[in-house]
Amino acid sequence: MTSPTLTVMINAARKAARGLQRDFGEVENLQVSLKGPADFVTKTDQRAESILQGELTKARPGFGFLMEEGGAVAGRDGEHCWLIDPIDGTTNFIHGIPHFAISIALERSGTVIAGVIYNPLSNDLFTTERGRGAYLNDRRLRVAARRNLSEAVVGCGIPHLGRGDQALFARELARLQPKVAGVRRFGSAALDLAWVAAGRLDGYWERGLKPWDIGAGILMVREAGGRAEDIASGDPLVTGDVLAGNDEIFQALQGEIVAA
């Protein structure tokens, strides 16, 4: 049974998704222009965010927001806060790569209690609520059972121009590369975590993320029986560094990454 809160989140995501679907088609035309679709996509992003904010406010008027575009908006209720990323995977969107998602998480007193990650092109709808499991459409999710790094396909984020500690990432990758069955960089942290929850990826790590990128995904992995935590020992929503997998893969990856 989908709870009223999750229903509100799903409806908001589906409504915002319509604009993303339409504009993604347009991006393919803009791709050839010298300026590219970046400005156009900024507007798409803002429009989607304002639909999400409007729908969620209509249903839960007192709640606050932390949004990728609009920043923090305090709510009257002081307890609940929506974490919103209207397009997680913006670089993919701009480049016409069909892999991005809307991510919505709901925090209560600083703890994420519900999450929705929706890929509007594949129609993959990932949902979760604290204590009630994680789902892809109607299917209950469980993290992959592989225990050895040698069998594991691991997702990651690669710091690029102007972003993150590139030398550190290079050391981490150099340690892991010879030990795992494959490394992937798909370009949407929310979907990377949802894919760990779904057992498509055995593990995932990335540094320097924002709460709206990972709030929903972290709960999704935990509710699918996995671990999603800071790479060291902090709170990933504060440090922005996240590592995910089942317990064995989590520990094995952590050992390598921390030693890099």
Residues contributing to the site for ligand IPD (CB under 6 A)? 68, 85, 87-90, 157, 187-189, 206, 209, 213
3-state secondary structure the chain: CCCHHHHHHHHHHHHHHHHHHHHHHHHHHHCCCCCCCHHHHHHHHHHHHHHHHHHHHHHCCCCEEEECCCEEECCCCCCEEEEEEEEECHHHHHCCCCCCEEEEEEEECCEEEEEEEEECCCCEEEEEECCCCEEECCEECCCCCCCCHHHCEEEECCCCCCCCCHHHHHHHHHHHHHHCCEEECCCCHHHHHHHHHCCCCCEEEECCCCHHHHHHHHHHHHHCCCEEECCCCCCHHHHCCEEEECHHHHHHHHHHHHHC
Closest by Cα among 41, 42, 50, 46 to 12: 50
Residue closer to ligand IPD by CB (options 209, 218) is 209
Residue closer to ligand IPD by CB (options 68, 172) is 68
Rounded least distance, CB 94 to ligand IPD, Å:
9
Residue closer to ligand IPD by CB (options 19, 225) is 19
Rounded least distance, CB 91 to ligand IPD, Å:
6
Rounded least distance, CB 190 to ligand IPD, Å:
6
Residue closer to ligand IPD by CB (options 155, 245) is 155
Rounded least distance, CB 43 to ligand IPD, Å:
15
Residue closer to ligand IPD by CB (options 60, 210) is 210
Residue closer to ligand IPD by CB (options 82, 251) is 82
Beta bridge mates, 40: none
Rounded least distance, CB 77 to ligand IPD, Å:
26
Tell me if 237 sits within 8 A of 218, measured CB to CB.
yes
Residue closer to ligand IPD by CB (options 157, 199) is 157
Rounded least distance, CB 61 to ligand IPD, Å:
26
**Residue 39, exposed/middle/buried by CB under 10 A (0-12, 13-18, 19+)?**
exposed
Rounded least distance, CB 139 to ligand IPD, Å:
24
